[in-house]
Amino acid sequence: MLLGLLEAVAFIVVIASLATGDFLPQRRKPLLLASMAVSMLTFAVMAFAQNMIADHASVASLFTYMGVTAVVFAVIRFVPSFRGSQAD
């Protein structure tokens, strides 16, 4: 149930991010970054659950997905051409 809620929250925040135009270069991206953070948490919970049942191939895949999401998160957060008008 927790996993389903996390996935639903991630989906809803992605839709809200698209609706508010967070993907545009000149806009701040709080919802986009929040959705990616929730997605990484969801991948971590799924990896934990798969590790508990000893499905190590799935854990490796989920770890890869979480790592790639973290790299995209960092690019959006720290690369100036993707940051838009964010004041840090």
Q: Is 58 exposed, middle or buried (0-12, 13-18, 19+ CB in 10 A)?
A: middle
Buried b (16+ CB within 10 A) or exposed e, 66-80: beebeeebeebeeee
Predicted confidence (pLDDT) per residue in 24-48, tens digit:
888 888 999 999 999 999 999 999 9
- Residue 88: which pLDDT band, with cuts at 50, 70 and 90? very low
Q: What CA–CA distance (Å, rounded) separates 7 from 41?
A: 10
Predicted confidence (pLDDT) per residue in 36-87, tens digit:
999 999 999 999 999 999 888 999 999 999 999 999 999 988 877 666 555 5
